[in-house]
Amino acid sequence: MITEQRYNSIQPINLPENGQYSFKGGSSLIQFQIPASPTLLLTKTLKLNGKLRLNRSTSTFSNPVFPNNNAVKTGAAYGLRLNERVGVSGLFENITISALGSGGQTLESLTKPGSLFSVTNPLQNNQANFDGYMCGKDPVLASREKQSATDCNTEVNFSIPLEVAILQAVETLPLGNNGLRGMEINLQLTADSNALICSEADKNDVFYSLHNLTCCYDLLHFDPDTQAELDRPKSGSFEFNSWNHQYNILNSNSSTLTLNLGTKNTLSVINSTIPASHVNNVEKDGYSTDRFKNQVNGVFNTTAKLNKYIVGKSGRRMPVDFEVVTKTQAGQNRPEVERIELLKESMNVEESARTLISVNTENGLKTKRDADGKEVASLKSTVSVEAQDKPIFAIGQNEDSLTQVGRDFSDGTFTLLVESDLDGQSANAIHTYSLSKHKLVYSPQGISVTS
Amino acid sequence: MNKELPSVLIPQQSVEMSNVDIHTEILEAVNKSQHRLQFNIKKQGLLNSGSRLVLSVHNDDAAADGTCFLPTTCGAACLISKATLRAGTTILSIAENVGERFMIDKAVHTASMRSEIDQVLDGASGSNLGPSTNTDGLLAVDVGCANYTSATACATPERYKPVNSKTNCPLYSISLDDIFVGLKNIVLPVGFMQEQVSVEIELTQQVNGETGKTMLFSTPPATTTATSYGLENCVMHLDYLTYDAATMNRIADQVNSDKGMPMVYSEKLVTSSQLPGIAQPASGVTSDVDFVREVGSSGLKVNNVVVTERYDTVNALTGVYRSDAPIHDISFNWRYNNTIHYPKAIKNPSLMRNELEKVQMFPMSVHNAEYSFDLYSDFYDSKDGMQNNPIDSTVLFEGQNPQVLGGNYFITSLNLTKGPGGEGTQIANKNIIYERKSVFSRNDYQTRLIKFFVDYEKTFVLRNGVVLTSI
């Protein structure tokens, strides 16, 4: 019987002297440890809380100097912002969740979560979500980039979930001997030049910093009998999901990406792309989700069309048993419905209208109407009330939409053949994220994870 | 809660609707005046909790037609000051501060729900913020919940605006379970109750010189701001459900058993208080003040406490139905049963919002700029704050600067359920204590009215047609 749901809050175990975490300042690893206890962790209540500062080059700890995006404050404008679809999560290079039992068994290690969330957030949320509940917890999130920038003109509070699969896929995690035996969360901050977007003269000296960081979560406490049961070492197991990341470069107009995922129950795979020179480039959005780009004199500004792609296992076409041809748009300038649907299916949101990607907005059709149904996008030609008009380009597929058991890639490789207009001289990075099921097995001897 | 009840008596459970007979009735009030309405419910089957109360409200000054609108946060719910649900002389439920409570409930409705469903029923336009039509990077009343005539002007659609005529006028409605929260937990088996079930509505009064209680005006009326009700329009649209004989007999058997039928439901208890202000601080100066308030709750099994607060003023768009955010973050904590709820008082408004969502069980769908002034202030530049207002002052709603919508949803809470959807916590013989530190500054120093909405478990037993209630 549950006797209590108890709020807990912990500080990082490696708190710097002034409590400020920043990549530039050298304190870029944030570590939290949730101690073992005969309780259940309510995963959806686990939040990372803190304050975010975007600092101009003259900023100091005690006298911070913030940007003035869109000149909302008095004084001259100064542009410095983050990606509006990723938010604070874009500050992390890596999120690692480990069980404290058996010397810190890693449960999930998500690299470059920002590149994943820049695809999954718009796939799972519509404009009202971005401008409603999402920006309420993470003020950087917004449907339009200037709106997000305005929200970063001051020191702002955030309280965000860690959107790693293990915390999203299960409701509770046992923290006792009969389970994880405690949990460790490591957050590695990413480079300022990768997270920040700035074109000002001192752009190479701007930096972000995090303050007052805490991790809060609720624990379910039980009556003494149940508590003793949770604390008694015994054998058991439970399933959880985790994301894996791989990074590659595509350059030629016909490339086959061959990846050894090594996971038995692979649920979905998502690939997003970005010109290689835009990564760690403070002038560019490190989490853009634009199409393949060709470069001219080092500037990646020419779109290279994706003509066709084929996904498979060890060269055999599956789960999509046909070539996905995208070279020619459908007639009447209609959108590429087939590709959109495959991508949405990879996140199990194929039937949902609650995403930024729809067959209308993907094609630039204006959909905003006022209460009387009048079209309002053209009230002022220079201002749009639609979500930011920029592509969400990714290739994704659900590997097993039928049984949800997942495809076995332990005995074969994941293959992705891409035919595009890439010119062979323009390196485009491709981030591949695979979601797979794992099993955590615990026994009196310790815990282990099988894929 | 209510594990032993037949599923047809629990509104949230999906039940087989093919074997139900729905009898719909338009019920006139048996007693009606400008202050009070009383409805007597028929003894028939089960009363659908989604049954609705229909009202109309009118500006007394006919020349003000076209300038009137309902508060954006709660619409027609503001018309009910108090409601009482009785079986005979036994009070089953009392609803106070219905407008404010509806504002709290609507905060978790999605933007499209507020603009496409709620607005049609409660008449509240302008309830969402979205990208500004005039300045990229700022916010304004979302285009989906108002009528736009230009990039800088929008208003409530005419069909939702109160008018002077009591015959050719919009009608507003609010469901019974939005008035009486307990009806979200149970379906009332009125057909099995011996005594007369009645609903008594006390109507909110707005006299000349007042605004924001029942409606607001885009331009001040020439003669009077007083409002009145169209009593001929005030009715209830009731649905009585009658299931197949087996289901109804099972309910009858349980009602007529020795044990009777215990029904557990939520009830709200409101504790009101004040947080006294101070003399206006000089520019750049702040002053910390600690407050401790007792929240009436001893002896109750409490699910949660929700807190609203506001200055004693009228907001041009939300009237008196709002919860004003402080400019400097407050910090607060709770004590109950010798327990301190938070290891350290919480101060982060985004975290406060997360805590509220544990209570509301849904994401709170309002913009950060509507919840707190966190985005607005650079205290390192000046402790007066408010240098970075993200709401576009150039896009007027009903002729009013929409910046008054900023920080109108600062609702905080205490969750006392044991697990999601679990039981509440029994509070012993001492009330819950609310401890808070406010930081007053140049532009935020006035007295605040604070209300604690305590949600607790109440039980009534229906035995042989007779209703017996707990505290």
From B318's Cα to the closest Cα of chain A, the distance in A is 18
pLDDT reading at A333 higher than 80: no
Residue A235: what pLDDT?
86
What are the chain A neighbours of B378 within 8 Å (beta carbons)?
66, 73, 153-155
Question: CB of B266 within 8 A of CB of B455?
Answer: yes
Residue A348: what pLDDT?
73
Task: Look at B418 and A66 and tell me if their CB atoms are within 8 Å.
Answer: no
Q: Both tokens of residue A358?
A: 């729809």
Nearest by CB to residue A376, choosing from B148, B363, B374, is B148
* Number of A–B residue contacts, CB under 8 Å: 195
User: Which carries the bigger pLDDT value, residue B140 or residue A105?
Assistant: B140
Task: Look at B329 and A157 and tell me if their CB atoms are within 8 Å.
Answer: yes
* Weakest-pLDDT range from A25-39, A329-343, B177-191: A329-343
Q: Is residue B331 part of a domain?
A: yes
| Buried-state track B125-154, b at ≥16 Cβ within 10 A, e below 16 | bbbbbbbbbbbbbbbbbbbbbbbbeebbbb
Domain limits at A187? 2-450
Cα angle for residues B218, B220, B226 (degrees, 5° grid): 105
Banded pLDDT at B62 (limits 50, 70, 90): very high
% helix, strand, coil for chain A, step of 5: 20, 40, 45
What are the chain A neighbours of B343 within 8 Å (beta carbons)?
7-9
CB atoms within 10 A of CB B397: 25
Which is nearest to B139 in space by CA: A297, A70, A385, A293? A385
From B122's Cα to the closest Cα of chain A, the distance in A is 14
Q: Is residue B468 part of a domain?
A: no
Nearest by CB to residue A371, choosing from B115, B344, B353, is B115
Residue B372: what pLDDT?
97
DSSP codes of every residue in A229-240: HHHS---EEEEE
* Distance separating alpha carbons of residues B78 and B84, to the nearest angstrom: 16
* Distance separating alpha carbons of residues A260 and A432, to the nearest angstrom: 11
Domain limits at B307? 16-460
From A417's Cα to the closest Cα of chain B, the distance in A is 40
Task: Look at B133 and A49 and tell me if their CB atoms are within 8 Å.
Answer: no
CB atoms within 10 A of CB A430: 22
Mean pLDDT of chain A: 89
What are the chain A neighbours of B364 within 8 Å (beta carbons)?
132-133, 136
Residue whose entry in the numeric block shows the structure tokens 């380009």? A393
Task: Look at B422 and A385 and tell me if their CB atoms are within 8 Å.
Answer: no
* Distance separating alpha carbons of residues A160 and A87, to the nearest angstrom: 10
* Distance separating alpha carbons of residues B216 and B211, to the nearest angstrom: 6
Banded pLDDT at A379 (limits 50, 70, 90): confident
Task: Look at B157 and A159 and tell me if their CB atoms are within 8 Å.
Answer: no
Residue B458: what pLDDT?
92
From B182's Cα to the closest Cα of chain A, the distance in A is 23
Banded pLDDT at A36 (limits 50, 70, 90): very high
In A190-305, the DSSP E strands lie at 197-198, 207-222, 236-250, 254-259, 265-275, 293-296, 299-303
Banded pLDDT at B315 (limits 50, 70, 90): very high
What would the pLDDT profile of A304-326 be if each residue is shown by its tens digit? Answer: 988 889 999 998 898 888 888 87
Banded pLDDT at B471 (limits 50, 70, 90): low
A145 → chain B, closest CA residue = B137
pLDDT reading at A88 higher than 90: yes
Domain total for chain A? 1
B329 → chain A, closest CA residue = A157
Task: Look at B343 and A73 and tell me if their CB atoms are within 8 Å.
Answer: no
pLDDT reading at A101 higher than 90: no
Task: Look at A137 and B150 and tell me if their CB atoms are within 8 Å.
Answer: no
Cα angle for residues B208, B276, B442 (degrees, 5° grid): 90
Name the strand (E) or helix (H) holding A92. strand A92-99
- Residue B144 neighbours by CB under 8 Å, 6+ apart: A368, A369, A370, A371, B111, B112, B115, B116, B128, B130
CB atoms within 10 A of CB B3: 6
Which is nearest to A74 in space by CA: B136, B152, B372, B382? B382
From A213's Cα to the closest Cα of chain B, the distance in A is 11
Nearest by CB to residue A132, choosing from B137, B349, B366, is B366
* Distance separating alpha carbons of residues A436 and B202, to the nearest angstrom: 58
- Residue B164 neighbours by CB under 8 Å, 6+ apart: B58, B59, B60, B61, B62, B64, B65
ipTM score over 0.90, yes or no: yes
What are the chain B neighbours of A156 within 8 Å (beta carbons)?
374-375
Task: Look at B143 and A133 and tell me if their CB atoms are within 8 Å.
Answer: no
Nearest by CB to residue A47, choosing from B351, B369, B375, is B351
What would the pLDDT profile of B257-279 be if each residue is shown by its tens digit? Answer: 999 999 999 999 999 999 999 99
Residue whose entry in the numeric block shows the structure tokens 């310790």? A446
Q: Is residue B357 part of a domain?
A: yes
Q: What is the mean pLDDT of residues B320-348?
A: 96
Task: Look at A370 and B146 and tell me if their CB atoms are within 8 Å.
Answer: yes
What would the pLDDT profile of A230-280 be if each residue is shown by its tens digit? Answer: 888 888 888 889 999 999 999 999 999 999 999 999 999 999 999 999 999
What are the chain B neighbours of A379 within 8 Å (beta carbons)?
133, 148, 150-151
- B59: alpha, beta or left, given left = phi > 0 and alpha = psi -120 to 50? beta
Mean pLDDT of chain B: 94
Nearest by CB to residue B136, choosing from A50, A144, A160, is A144
3-state secondary structure of B348: coil
Q: Is residue B217 part of a domain?
A: yes
- Residue A71 neighbours by CB under 8 Å, 6+ apart: A77
Residue A144 is part of a domain; what is its CATH number? 2.70.9.10
Domain total for chain B? 1
**How big is chain B by its Cα radius of gyration, in Å?**
23
Residue B15: what pLDDT?
57
What would the pLDDT profile of B7-27 be if each residue is shown by its tens digit? Answer: 777 776 555 566 888 999 999
* Distance separating alpha carbons of residues B382 and B355, to the nearest angstrom: 30
From B279's Cα to the closest Cα of chain A, the distance in A is 28
* Distance separating alpha carbons of residues A7 and A214, to the nearest angstrom: 13
What are the chain A neighbours of B368 within 8 Å (beta carbons)?
135-136, 139, 151
> How far, CA to CA in Å, does B216 sit from each of B227, B308, B312, B405?
10, 21, 16, 14
Task: Look at B368 and A139 and tell me if their CB atoms are within 8 Å.
Answer: yes
What are the chain A neighbours of B348 within 8 Å (beta carbons)?
49-51, 157-159, 212
pLDDT reading at A330 higher than 90: no
Banded pLDDT at A221 (limits 50, 70, 90): very high
Residue A368: what pLDDT?
83
Task: Look at B343 and A7 and tell me if their CB atoms are within 8 Å.
Answer: yes
What are the chain A neighbours of B351 within 8 Å (beta carbons)?
47, 49, 157, 159, 216
Residue B127 is part of a domain; what is its CATH number? 2.70.9.10
pLDDT reading at B407 higher than 80: yes
Name the strand (E) or helix (H) holding B98. helix B98-106
* Distance separating alpha carbons of residues A195 and A205, to the nearest angstrom: 13
Q: What is the mean pLDDT of residues B431-445?
A: 97
CA dihedral angle for residue A26, residue A53, residue B381, residue B401, rounded to 10 degrees: 170
User: Which carries the bigger pLDDT value, residue B321 or residue B469?
Assistant: B321
Q: What is the mean pLDDT of residues A28-33?
A: 97
Interface test with chain A among B351, B353, B358, B364, by most A beta carbons within 10 Å: B351
Q: Is residue B467 part of a domain?
A: no
